[in-house]
Amino acid sequence: MTTIDKEGCREAYNEVRDDNTDTMWAAFTYEGFKIVPCQSVYSVCLFLPSDDSRLFGFVRIMMGDAMSKRAKFTLITWIGENIGGLQRAKISTDKAKVKEIVQNFAKEFMLSDQRELDEDYIREELKKAGGANYDAQTE
């Protein structure tokens, strides 16, 4: 049964949510049957997942238009193409444990294609979910 390092993951989550830090993402990976915050460079963990890995990412993206700028948050679940059926099936119960900590986000993604990790793709999806967009208006 999968467990989670609640304290470590909560600390990483809070650092991303904190407006006083430059931290833009946190990644949560597996160490055996335990979900832990990624200890190496976050960008390596989050933006270079492999076809053989499973991970969760919590990302801050600055969004806005001519009228306002604000941080939006997203939860990304990565399931590599080579992950077996049993591990793939367990991801939903494991994600529930992550969501006990990562509670505030605008949009959730479940991805397995590297192209979908592109920041522009995620930004567009967040924009669609975000409501009013005044980019088309002139000042």
Give the closest residue to 75 by CA, choosing from 3, 126, 135.
Answer: 126
Q: Is residue 137 part of a domain?
A: no
Q: Do the domain assignments include residue 110?
A: yes
Residues spanned by the domain of 83: 3-129
Chain segment 54-78, per-residue pLDDT in tens: 999 999 998 877 778 888 999 999 9
Token match 């830090």: residue? 21
Q: Is residue 112 part of a domain?
A: yes
**What's the predicted TM-score (pTM) here?**
0.84
* C-alpha–C-alpha distance, residues 132 and 30, integer Å: 38
> What are φ and ψ of residue 73, in 5° steps?
-120, 145
Q: Name the H helices within the chain.
A: 6-17, 42-47, 85-99, 119-129
The mean pLDDT of 119-125, rounded to a whole number, is 86
List 27's β-bridge partners, or say none.
57
* CATH number of the domain within which 101 lies: 3.40.20.10
Tell me whether residue 78 is in a domain. Answer: yes
Structurally, the chain folds into a number of domains equal to 1
Q: Which of 87, 127, 89 is closest to 107 using CA atoms?
A: 127
Return the amino acid letter for 33.
F
3-state SS assignment for residue 31: strand
- Read off the pLDDT band of 117 (50, 70, 90): confident
φ, ψ at 11 (rounded to 5°): -65, -45
With respect to residue 54, please indicate whether it lies within any of the assigned structural domains: yes
Q: What are 11-62's pLDDT values in tens digits?
A: 999 999 999 998 888 889 899 999 999 865 545 555 567 788 899 999 999 8
Please give the pLDDT value at position 77: 94
Task: For residues 98 and 77, give the distance between their C-alpha atoms in angstroms, rounded to a whole number.
Answer: 10
